[in-house]
Structure 1
């Protein structure tokens, strides 16, 4: 599937669920990081762009300076007595800042660091709630589970192995340990969702509806036949259903949780 078609199909999913529950976002983040690394090496021009083609100075300056971690407390939040630390917060915040900076380069506006900090700590709180719930249910994630998920992500990115994927991620600034932690969180969330009885396999009719919407959004441009992209559409549909169920779990857990945010 071409990247344009992939984006179109993703955009055409209705009731797009917020899946920034760290773990669920991890799969997309890792995939995009790997693809971005590959695309950058392939598409990079021989000569540096002229000043007229460069992003705005304010966006570039912000990117070069990096996110401001001054004043971030050692414990950014407490969830039912469990601490969420600055050490956990920093790499996720830095990754979110990098993504926001790339988006901001188009508009020339610096990222909203306050909003990014809030989103990051909220994601960490949600993940901690889900981890506590998984522990209550006796669910656990092994190294073998993480290895298997990495291999699957590698295949989705046309890479030879999970090790190759980890190296590509590392080149994007995330350590392999951090990447494995995020993938482990994703697996944990998927286990919780499975324990809830979902997500169910999407029907052929639902997949064809998604494909029809994507085809219409292409404005007449040719896209691959349904048979060629069916598996990708099914994965997208299952991921979004997983996100929906996980968000419902989080919403319920937050109602009875003792949460203190120190930012």
Structure 2
């Protein structure tokens, strides 16, 4: 699942949970498509995005930041084939995602539905546990060399100077080095599992062109003065976004298949 392993910023390892969720995904997938277009547009001009983001941040500070509501979370959030997903595990994931959602809510002025968010995260954690169990059953296990390579990639993608800087940043988010390596290994194991199930994912020139055209149209409809670079200059970003989207969809579908034969109880 390289999408979450390599594509996310610091402190958001847990966002994989919603990417793996097999329930309540239709609306979420629509949002992901819109976000993909926005991200491509943003990548085309970092300076403009920074200026706009600063303005939005200033406006957002006028709104009160919501707090996570975790009072009704049970000690055992879910059970998957006898394996428990605990309250502590759930809260770590929920808090990480809540921070992102709260910042978005501040900028957009929309209220957060924490009950729905809890359910989606629980569903996603169930899906991830199913994938983890299947990888273990097949004897799939990433090597230390593969984990180190993934760490180095995270360091590079987040513009950090060293592994130590990465682990320091993650520890500030409540994730120890040991826990981070375990998360990375689990992600690599599941990545290999999905690859074995669906084979190599390919993105066509036509798909990239379609996404580019949709992004251009979105920019025009929003009245943005930011002009996108030519298609050829954005092909790398377009391909990356589409690869992530396809892999996410394949992961969701496979997790849903595993769930059909699984013993799952969610206590929310």
What TM-score, normalized to structure 1? 0.70
Aligned to 2:175: 175
Aligned to 1:240: 245
Q: Is the 8 A contact 1:189 1:246 kept in 2?
A: no
Structure 1 unaligned spans of 5+: 1-20
Distance 1:121 1:225, change over 3 A: same
SS of the aligned residue for 2:84 comes to strand
Structure 2 unaligned spans of 5+: 14-46
Return 138-147 or 124-133, whichever deviates more: 138-147
Query: How far 1:71 moved relative to its partner?
Result: 4.1
Aligned to 1:252: 257
RMSD over aligned Cα atoms: 3.4
Give the count of matched residue pairs. 225
Matches of 2:230 and 2:11 in 1, distance apart? 24
What TM-score, normalized to structure 2? 0.69
Distance 1:236 1:109, change over 3 A: closer
Q: Is the 8 A contact 2:9 2:158 kept in 1?
A: no
Q: Is the 8 A contact 1:77 1:261 kept in 2?
A: yes
Matches of 1:260 and 1:118 in 2, distance apart? 12
Aligned to 2:37: none
Q: Is the 8 A contact 2:208 2:235 kept in 1?
A: yes
Aligned to 1:77: 78
Q: Is the 8 A contact 1:199 1:241 kept in 2?
A: no
Q: Is the 8 A contact 2:135 2:189 kept in 1?
A: yes
Matches of 1:201 and 1:254 in 2, distance apart? 26
The reply to whether residue 55 of structure 1 matches residue 59 of structure 2 is no
Aligned to 2:143: 142
Query: How far 1:70 moved relative to its partner?
Result: 2.9
Matches of 1:209 and 1:170 in 2, distance apart? 40
Matches of 2:258 and 2:60 in 1, distance apart? 48
Return 238-247 or 190-199, whichever deviates more: 190-199
Query: How far 1:33 moved relative to its partner?
Result: 6.2
SS of the aligned residue for 2:77 comes to strand
Q: Is the 8 A contact 2:194 2:251 kept in 1?
A: yes
Matches of 1:254 and 1:142 in 2, distance apart? 28
Name which of 30, 33, 36 aligns with 2:9: 30
Matches of 1:33 and 1:94 in 2, distance apart? 10
Query: How far 1:241 moved relative to its partner?
Result: 1.4
Matches of 1:128 and 1:204 in 2, distance apart? 35
The reply to whether residue 123 of structure 1 matches residue 124 of structure 2 is yes
Return 194-203 or 105-114, whichever deviates more: 105-114
Query: How far 1:224 moved relative to its partner?
Result: 2.9
Matches of 1:210 and 1:116 in 2, distance apart? 28
Q: Is the 8 A contact 1:97 1:111 kept in 2?
A: no
Query: How far 1:138 moved relative to its partner?
Result: 1.8
Q: Is the 8 A contact 1:73 1:86 kept in 2?
A: yes
Q: Is the 8 A contact 1:200 1:238 kept in 2?
A: yes
Matches of 2:248 and 2:60 in 1, distance apart? 38
Aligned to 1:215: 216
Distance 1:175 1:181, change over 3 A: same
SS of the aligned residue for 1:140 comes to coil
The one-character-per-residue Cα deviations of 1:33-87 (angstroms, maximum 9, x if unpaired) are 69xxxx9xx9898xxx6xx87332xx32x33xxx233343332111111111222
- Which runs of structure 1 show a deviation greater than 6 angstroms over 4 or more consecutive aligned residues? 42-45
